[in-house]
Amino acid sequence: MPLNYYPDYSSTPPSLYCGSFESNESQTNAGSTSANLITFNNTTTSVGVTLVDGSKITYAHTGKYLFNLLGQFAFTGGASDYSVVVWAVKNGTIVPNSSRSFTTTSAQNSQTLANMEDIYAINAGDYLQFYWRAVATGMALTPVAAGSNPTRPAGTSTVINTWNVG
């Protein structure tokens, strides 16, 4: 008897809806009390998930979606608080319990890679956005420059990957 890997779908695999969006631009801190909107300027992959207005990750299909957001933060000066808080907003409303805090060191140009991952129930037409804040005015989302010795590629300041999981 052959194995049926997709018993709930009459032997047809479910559709995978996914999106991958990134930014290769620096995104600076607007101030110590500012909510800084994370923006993206490049679409890598988009199937049923689109980028609208550079910041809204918009879903065409209802389901549960996993997202993974990475942000490369660098401290270049300002207050002696080296933390960054990142949070999610769904359809214009802050998602409860979505804040995550990350900390750089006090050294100039010290960096930290902020990583957020969660699963949200999404309805068709919903969108997610992400914001960050830092007391240090010199905190920024920064891309990584290409290098040599050894040769290595440039990296984005931020990237989000999202796909349906149910």
H helices, E strands: number in the chain:
0, 14
Q: Is residue 5 part of a domain?
A: no
Residue among 46, 37, 21 at smallest CA distance from 131: 37
Q: Is residue 126 part of a domain?
A: yes
Q: Is residue 71 part of a domain?
A: yes
Q: Is residue 57 part of a domain?
A: yes
CATH of the domain at 44: 2.60.120.40
Q: Is residue 32 part of a domain?
A: yes
The string of pLDDT tens digits covering residues 43-96 is 999 999 999 999 999 999 999 999 999 999 998 877 777 889 999 999 999 999
Total tally of structural domains belonging to the chain? 1
Q: Give just the sign of the alpha carbon dihedral 144, 118, 59, 164.
A: positive
Q: Is residue 3 part of a domain?
A: no
Q: Which pTM was predicted?
A: 0.88
Q: Which two tokens stand for residue 117?
A: 């991952």
The string of pLDDT tens digits covering residues 19-33 is 999 999 999 999 989
Residue 6 pLDDT grade (very low, low, confident, very high; cuts 50, 70, 90): very low
- Domain of residue 107: give its range: 16-164
Q: Is residue 2 part of a domain?
A: no
Give yes or no for residue 9 having a pLDDT over 60. Answer: no
- Which residues are bridge partners to 32 per DSSP? none
Residue among 52, 17, 48 at smallest CA distance from 37: 52
More reliable by pLDDT, 140 or 12: 140
Q: Is residue 7 part of a domain?
A: no
- Which residues are bridge partners to 110 per DSSP? 75
